[in-house]
Structure 1
Amino acid sequence: MTERLIEPRGRGFLLFDSHPAGCEKIVRDMWDRVTPAVPDKEGERRPVALVVGSSAGYGMATVIAGVRRYGIDGVGLCFERPSTERRTATAGWYRTIATAELAAKAGRDWSFVNGDAFADDTKAQVLDLLAERFGGIDHLIYSVAAPRRTDPATGRTHQSVIQPLGAGYRTKTLDVGGDEPALKEIWVEPGSNTERADTIKVMGGEDWALWVDALTDRGLLRPGFTTVALSYIGSHLTAPIYRDGTIGAAKAHLEETALTLNRDLSGIGGRAMTSVNGAAVTQASTAIPGIALYVSLLRGVLGEAVRSPLQQSVELWDLLTGVQALDLDDHGRIRLDRWELNPLVQEQVTERWEAVAPGTVGDLADIDWFTSKVRRLYGFDVPGVNYSAPSEPDMPWPTPAE
């Protein structure tokens, strides 16, 4: 494929192409913002991690924070699409290439697998790689947000939905179909019991437990093994569509799974937990009604005090490595969202939510910031990138270092 100009064309929050140079610059900027915590010690074994969902959002931030701050080796798994004659590769494809290059230059042993995390064949491929290169792992970070899952036991494909439960829900949201984002109200029909069950199948804890079982069966869990699945609770403002809805039912199942896994791992001194992270602009979050408006209002209240996925991931590794004491709630969940759910913050966001109207949305919500963050998900709006220059979209998947 020859070089060409790549522009941010698309519909609403969904862009058709991604910019390779922009994606690379984002990864390098994240890398530079992380301060190494410990110097390398010659001959000392470094911790090994498997990150399932490693190419975007919190999963990618977890890889970068772990590698840069603590010199962690390991394997990242994601599901990305290469370039075609009509389209660039997905942003996660380019971000993975950049992450692999930085890890290699830092002398870290990281491999990245591109495949369906739900498939037995993918699990076997990843476990073979872990066994060959490391012989065992210390950490499993599970960060999967998927629209569908084919159950390997039944062959049936389940589709997740984003709907309230019990009753329909009317909410304010941002309409991005026009030239400028606009405030509007929408009605969301309730999900059925079948849709609830399907969403749990996709986004709940079943696949996470299958990963732990597979690692256990292969004898790859090292003493003190810790696994964390990333979760979200969010504000009362978004609860009807999120925490009290189909997605929330899946998150509740994820947290119940953590309790079961935690008991199962006690024999090796292991531990399983969920990490409740704060709000962020991700490709998954832009699909949820009302979330774009809520996060824009949150940014309007907090400004630069909004904690990025990278900042929260650095904190997560500080907790998992014992540098900081674990911050757990009464349900045994790691809480990285206290900055968001601070009562004073939520009070101010609620005031803005209730007051926001078409004529005031630009004053109360930081829509420009949110829109720019969405474009950055695809490698656009990144300072220091020359978007008028042609780029080569056809880039090979990184191969493990020998």
Structure 2
Amino acid sequence: MSERVITPRNRGFLFIDSHPTGCERVVEQMWQAVSSPDGSSHGSSDGAPVALVIGSSAGYGLAATIAGLARVGIRGIGVCFEKAPDRRTGTAGWYRTAATARLARSHGRDMTFLNGDAFSDAMKDQVADLLKQRFDGRLDYLIYSVAAPRRTDPDTGVTYASVLKSVGKAHRTRTLVFDGDGAPEVREVESPPAEGDDIAQTTAVMGGADWERWIGHLSARGLLADGFTTAALSYIGSPLTAGIYRQGTIGVAKAHLEQTARTLDERLAGLVGGRAVTSVNGAAVTQSSTAIPGIALYLGLLRGTLGDTLVPPIAQLTDLWDRLTGIRPLDLDDEGRIRLDTWELAADVQAAVTDRWNRATTETIGELADLDWFHTEVKRLYGFAVPGVDYDAPVRTDIPWPGTAS
């Protein structure tokens, strides 16, 4: 057994190590934030809907997994790609997955987690085999939440890389950085425009191709239940960040994802009376979002505007499950999307955030943005800054993957 004291070491918003106990506590807090529709806890998962969550270990995918388990009582499979503990700790997602599996088991949920490349056909085959052997040979729900830097096409063997660039011309925006002592600075940065095949490569990674391949693969194996429903998680965001996000290379990929939803929706309706939608989520501090220029500044100002009324991912994904399972109306927009971001994009909220954005400088940012909250949220991504955790105590780091021997 490997035990040591883990102290946070970071390069900007990226932390080198993760804290197993802190990650476990974060998962427990997310579970506790979810209630069942009647206010009681679910019993055995026998007969519960079977769900597959692709990208189950972080961000909105983690929230979808925990909300599905705690709110709906799903059973099924979570797929993610995490690094095991070795010389360094495991990734935060490794420890969050272990904690989610323990909680699921303690509540009588039958949830299996697979670690590997979700883009590969080998993983698709592994999932299909498991659905056949363990979960009645049927799948009721598939949640797709994948953010990745690259993807290898199983047909061609070509590896595509996604980029964060503007489209058409260079884009200048303001962003928030912190020096070695944690002091904030508001800076202007410029993102270069996409060139060559940047847009096509980003779309190949972050668009709907892999989601569609999952559906085709599982359908060919006869695993989609009558009424099967799938949702891919997406984001639109504020006009303040549109130049690098919705109007940039990632935005083109998200538009492709939404077009894929419309294609899949038509196909599934004919196949199994099913449906496909995209779910547009609200802003959140995630390992993916902190890498996007301007997002850190925007998030701090959004929290400064909304305070505790900012809706966290676990609440948003509980709402999504309620809509998918009929507890609440689905309520699609004109593009066929579920909108979980209306609280963020309300006109009065965006006006207030825009005013703060325009007044934000290195000197004023501490008054306009909730920087303490932002710092804490970034640290929590790696299991740090979690109340009740003794960070001076040695902690076991060689936590096994769920279902493997200790």
Normalising by structure 1, what TM-score? 0.97
The Cα of 1:178 is off from its aligned counterpart by 3.2
Per-residue deviation, residues 87-117 of structure 1 (Å, max 9, x unmatched): 1000000000000001011111100000000
Q: Give 3-state SS (helix, strand or coil) of 2:278's partner.
A: strand
- The answer for unaligned runs of 5 or more in structure 1 is none
Distance 1:274 1:251 in 2: 10
Distance 2:2 2:72 in 1: 39
CA RMSD of aligned residues (A): 1.4
Count of residue pairs the alignment pairs up: 400
Distance 2:47 2:322 in 1: 18
Distance 2:37 2:317 in 1: 14
Per-residue deviation, residues 148-182 of structure 1 (Å, max 9, x unmatched): 11111111111100111001011100123432231
Distance 2:268 2:149 in 1: 29
Per the alignment, residue 386 of structure 2 pairs with: 382
Q: How does 1:20-39 map to 2 (within 5 A)?
A: 20-37=20-37
Pairing 1:276–2:277 present: no
Per-residue deviation, residues 203-262 of structure 1 (Å, max 9, x unmatched): 000000000001100100000000000000000000000000000000000000000000
Distance 2:345 2:45 in 1: 43
Per-residue deviation, residues 323-361 of structure 1 (Å, max 9, x unmatched): 100121110100000000000000000001111111101
C-alpha contact (below 8 Å) 2:83/2:90 kept by paired residues: yes
C-alpha contact (below 8 Å) 1:149/1:157 kept by paired residues: yes
C-alpha contact (below 8 Å) 2:45/2:73 kept by paired residues: no
Pairing 1:285–2:285 present: no
Which amino acid is 1:257 matched to?
A: T
Q: Give 3-state SS (helix, strand or coil) of 2:4's partner.
A: coil
Give aligned-pair identity as a percent: 60
Per-residue deviation, residues 265-319 of structure 1 (Å, max 9, x unmatched): 0121100000000000000000000000001100000000110000001000100
Runs of 4+ in 1 over 3 A off after TM superposition: 38-44
Which has the higher mean CA deviation after the structures are superposed, 43-52 or 15-24? 43-52
Per the alignment, residue 344 of structure 2 pairs with: 340
Which amino acid is 1:25 matched to?
A: R
The Cα of 1:41 is off from its aligned counterpart by 7.3
Change (3 A) 1:40 1:186: closer
The Cα of 1:37 is off from its aligned counterpart by 2.3
Per the alignment, residue 12 of structure 2 pairs with: 12
Q: Give 3-state SS (helix, strand or coil) of 1:371's partner.
A: helix
Distance 2:168 2:208 in 1: 23
Please point out which of 252, 260, 264 is paired with 1:261.
Answer: 264
Per the alignment, residue 104 of structure 2 pairs with: 103
Q: Give 3-state SS (helix, strand or coil) of 2:227's partner.
A: strand
Per the alignment, residue 55 of structure 2 pairs with: 53
The Cα of 1:193 is off from its aligned counterpart by 4.3
Distance 2:70 2:218 in 1: 25
Per the alignment, residue 225 of structure 2 pairs with: 222
Please point out which of 151, 164, 167 is paired with 1:165.
Answer: 167
The Cα of 1:80 is off from its aligned counterpart by 0.1
Per-residue deviation, residues 51-89 of structure 1 (Å, max 9, x unmatched): 00000011011111111111110100000000112x100
Q: Give 3-state SS (helix, strand or coil) of 1:352's partner.
A: helix
Distance 1:107 1:336 in 2: 29
Normalising by structure 2, what TM-score? 0.96
Change (3 A) 1:43 1:358: closer
Per the alignment, residue 197 of structure 1 pairs with: 200
